[in-house]
Structure 1
């Protein structure tokens, strides 16, 4: 028997052992009354008991019962989906931290994809974000210790620590031949849902929602109140890189735009079936709304975007979303242990199922070919649904935007400059030389640009003139953003950064071309008709 088959057999055996223990607790009579008639589970339990006895009797060394039980549970759950997991008491406590208050760390959302801990999204304003760690980066070492094969919880333990302490992480980045190191200083990571909210130059409001945590509704109401006092003519809600969060907060934020007693989402499963409706009376908002999404918009953010689309309250723009539409329930177990079980799938008002099945295989490390992904996408797009006003929307497996817009491309030279934190360090030195003064209206002229390139060379970063030319706009914007950040704060710096954001600029242009949401819907429909032809 080869190694993979041996491992599978061992996991299966240990899984049955755990099941045996559970059944013995319940009692043989209770099981006999309720066991499914279509299976022979009880005989399998007997088989397992026999194998367990022989294993304990004859194995070459003593076996640790606690370790075997945990391996059995992990093996049993691994046959389901990647979101169904078992927690020790310490792991269970650690997991619940992410939706509460704040914690000390680096500021990255991670998931395990295959054997690799992979960055889903850096949290804005954190050490990881400032250093240029980005979605798709594989974290392979922490403080020179390999974490390949680690669980997300084990990786989190390695990366978190006391505020102010340093940690070195090594990443493998797609497109780069060698791993690269980052040294970061741990900070208190405060989970803020809406870090940015302001009025754009063309009179449109902009709100960035980074995740749905316990204060999202409160923050959204404050942001809307402030923008509406400024008489905005429309609103852009940016959900790109939003990994999701709390379902109730997603439903309540949707409430602000569609009103009371409206169906937002249904959960459908074997034991969990419920409909979630909006609860609050709110004032009617008649200005046009655009929701920006991308491939890393997941879970609760997909429910938000899809719901505004379904109720014809917002035009969705960007790229197809991630497709994380499964429902997990946290269940405490004895001795402080816990288990997270997938109990249902999300279906939004139009009937679309958000979940993309191929993601489960990818997250479990199974091989999924480009051809498989293409077939799944084509199949989803053949599924037609209708909004409240009878507009066509497409798919399942994520949210299909009304208008698709590609994102910006960052050159390898630009990646290297961000990775080595050159913009941050240059800004520090520049402001020391200029008495910490920098006018927000100052443009990055050739003099400052040449100073920066000299600084780059001194830091042993090699480049050609072609590298500079291809990344010219990005470099000048990034220099100014860092200088402004240190003198005028994060929000003013962010406004400068997004001036080079292709997807956002496309959204802004629609408000300049169309006055109503209905006109935007008509335009989007015409684009889709051209694609179909």
Structure 2
């Protein structure tokens, strides 16, 4: 999320989507990112989202305000048709009610409050949790995100009640030019002391500072006196490829946070840095990727699929059915999908997913799965199979409206059944047919943990990949190999929620200004951490303290490396110690056998291939 300075969230990439907050990695600190709405939190405020996540977080404050960007695929919109007679009558009732309010309410009625905040948002919320109205600032931020840049200061911050710490600054950004770096603590913003603010007030202060000159009081690691800085905002990049490294000789790893205009080119560049076509394997991490633009998803799929392979089909009530396929093109072609280069990467692939992998990310994962191009590993995905069209309105406002459903190359819908909505019952006979009418999602999403609730006959319908492997419709994408995420006991989860690891790391660096990049916490550091917890009135239960030693060491190491050497160094520590990544990396020698279909009817397999 972008708000006055620049922030991402630290170790836990769960994105507090209503405002674009992204947490990344194992459970822990969070990183705010101006991205997409988490479909699992359809109407949360920032405070509610923070409470829902049960984790502290970090903010990317590149200068954008609170964003209500749905985790969507973007489609073109047709000009609105004339309203029906029924709609005209209902509009007349609304006008009468507003007239009565305007004349008789005890206070002056503000039209923008009554119509935009009340009527318009109420009308959209009655449809589904993805449709949304954007005011001028929100729509401007939406457009900045799509371009992959925003007005701001280029710094990544850790934000907790009474404390703001710099995690990293982008090279060439205003924060970088001013000399801010990892471990710097911001103690004042425009004369307001951070330690006097509660959490909500702190967030509001950061929001207000997002697009204008800001004065900061900053204490460098190992120092006791604050230094003053004045920063002017500038356009800074918002890359969606945030982690790139070699897991082992010849095996690359890339994490992608979303799908925007430049994502395909960012991903192609990242692959090239890892070795390009000479790679022996690539692990593409789409965990906690909530989607983005359909053209971007097609461009990314085109990096790894053959030309003219089907990626998805979109069907709506207002427009003819449209199929999207990969095409061969060069990066300089202005008409291409997000500037993606010709498909040239044919190395073995594994795609890592989880329950927060949604929308456009599911489009990419399902296309790679159904064309038998990649092995899908991790946990079942979210299951969002609908498309939002983004439309500009008057006075530079905008609207995101659910307008269509999409289907994977095999013809299946991955939309998760939503009890109490029009999608609670999906008739298997209509799945994959083009004549079904527009279905609204309803007001609430089911709990991701009970995604099988409302399962219908559609979920029992089996589809097949190009080579005949069975896949099922509805409820998201089921991985080819299920690998659960790291689970935390209540004590470890509590510590992560309270943000104690980053606070301890900040205090540690005050006394140890120089930390080796290969730093490893020893018994003395652990004892210091235990004493710190005691001072904070969080005495460790002995049974958990003994059991959680490895996890505590990893979190302490990650946070100290973050503040001492920046997020890139810490990300590598985190990725290499991620149990899902570790398990996925062991599967590369088995990919061929795992992608081999069981014995099937040869005629079925031939028909499936011919349909491509």
Residues 1:326 and 2:404 are matched in the alignment: no
2-side partners of 1:284 and 1:265: how far apart?
A: 21
Residues 1:300 and 2:360 are matched in the alignment: yes
Contact 2:247 2:576 in 1 (8 A): no
1-side partners of 2:567 and 2:445: how far apart?
A: 41
Relative to 1, partners in 2 of residues 1:493 and 1:101: Cα closer, same or farther, differing over 3 Å?
same
Shift of the alpha carbon at 1:200? 1.1
Residues 1:72 and 2:145 are matched in the alignment: no
Equivalent residue for 2:557, pick from 477, 480, 502 = 480
Relative to 1, partners in 2 of residues 1:523 and 1:332: Cα closer, same or farther, differing over 3 Å?
closer
Residues 1:343 and 2:403 are matched in the alignment: yes
1-side partners of 2:563 and 2:445: how far apart?
A: 45
- Structure 1 or 2: more helix by fraction: 1
Contact 1:311 1:387 in 2 (8 A): yes
Task: Specify the SS of the correspondent of 2:265.
Answer: helix
Give matches, 1:167-178, under 5 Å.
none
1:392-411: CA deviation from partner (whole Å, max 9, x where unpaired): 11122422211222111123
Relative to 1, partners in 2 of residues 1:66 and 1:497: Cα closer, same or farther, differing over 3 Å?
closer
Contact 2:467 2:596 in 1 (8 A): no
Instruction: State the partner residue of 1:290.
Output: 350
1-side partners of 2:104 and 2:510: how far apart?
A: 72
Instruction: State the partner residue of 2:162.
Output: none
Contact 2:311 2:326 in 1 (8 A): yes
Instruction: State the partner residue of 1:394.
Output: 472
Contact 2:366 2:477 in 1 (8 A): yes
Equivalent residue for 1:279, pick from 319, 322, 327 = 327
Shift of the alpha carbon at 1:327? 1.7
Relative to 1, partners in 2 of residues 1:524 and 1:386: Cα closer, same or farther, differing over 3 Å?
closer
Instruction: State the partner residue of 1:424.
Output: 502
Instruction: State the partner residue of 2:593.
Output: 519
Residues 1:253 and 2:300 are matched in the alignment: yes
1-side partners of 2:504 and 2:113: how far apart?
A: 51
Equivalent residue for 2:533, pick from 456, 477, 500 = 456
Relative to 1, partners in 2 of residues 1:45 and 1:465: Cα closer, same or farther, differing over 3 Å?
closer
Structure scoring higher RCO (CA < 8 A, sep ≥ 6) equals 2
Equivalent residue for 2:315, pick from 257, 268, 275 = 268
1-side partners of 2:570 and 2:502: how far apart?
A: 12
Contact 1:81 1:360 in 2 (8 A): no
1:46-73: CA deviation from partner (whole Å, max 9, x where unpaired): 6666666666676676655454433332
Equivalent residue for 1:200, pick from 238, 247, 265 = 247
1:362-386: CA deviation from partner (whole Å, max 9, x where unpaired): 9966485899843434655412111
1:284-320: CA deviation from partner (whole Å, max 9, x where unpaired): 4343211000011111111111110111100111111
Q: TM-score, normalised by structure 2?
A: 0.61
2-side partners of 1:270 and 1:155: how far apart?
A: 44
Residues 1:309 and 2:369 are matched in the alignment: yes
Give matches, 1:120-199, under 5 Å.
190-199=237-246
Relative to 1, partners in 2 of residues 1:431 and 1:69: Cα closer, same or farther, differing over 3 Å?
closer
Shift of the alpha carbon at 1:353? 2.0
Q: Which moved more, 1:363-372 or 1:293-302?
A: 363-372
- Cα RMSD between the aligned structures? 4.2
1-side partners of 2:291 and 2:279: how far apart?
A: 27
2-side partners of 1:386 and 1:156: how far apart?
A: 50
Equivalent residue for 1:436, pick from 496, 514, 527 = 514
Relative to 1, partners in 2 of residues 1:379 and 1:449: Cα closer, same or farther, differing over 3 Å?
farther
Equivalent residue for 2:452, pick from 340, 364, 374 = 374
Instruction: State the partner residue of 1:242.
Output: 289
1-side partners of 2:114 and 2:372: how far apart?
A: 53
Shift of the alpha carbon at 1:248? 1.2
Task: Specify the SS of the correspondent of 2:587.
Answer: helix
Task: Specify the SS of the correspondent of 1:307.
Answer: helix
Task: Specify the SS of the correspondent of 1:200.
Answer: strand
2-side partners of 1:54 and 1:229: how far apart?
A: 67
Task: Specify the SS of the correspondent of 2:471.
Answer: strand
Shift of the alpha carbon at 1:455? 2.9
Contact 1:474 1:500 in 2 (8 A): no
1-side partners of 2:449 and 2:261: how far apart?
A: 40
1-side partners of 2:520 and 2:141: how far apart?
A: 46
Task: Specify the SS of the correspondent of 2:295.
Answer: helix
Shift of the alpha carbon at 1:425? 3.8
Q: Which moved more, 1:293-302 or 1:60-69?
A: 60-69
Instruction: State the partner residue of 1:212.
Output: 259
- List alignment gaps of at least 5 residues for structure 2: 1-79, 158-166, 170-182, 184-195, 218-230, 330-341, 425-440, 600-612
Q: TM-score, normalised by structure 1?
A: 0.70
1-side partners of 2:198 and 2:112: how far apart?
A: 29
2-side partners of 1:458 and 1:372: how far apart?
A: 40
Shift of the alpha carbon at 1:78? 2.6
Shift of the alpha carbon at 1:234? 1.2
Contact 1:199 1:232 in 2 (8 A): no
Matched residue pairs, number? 437
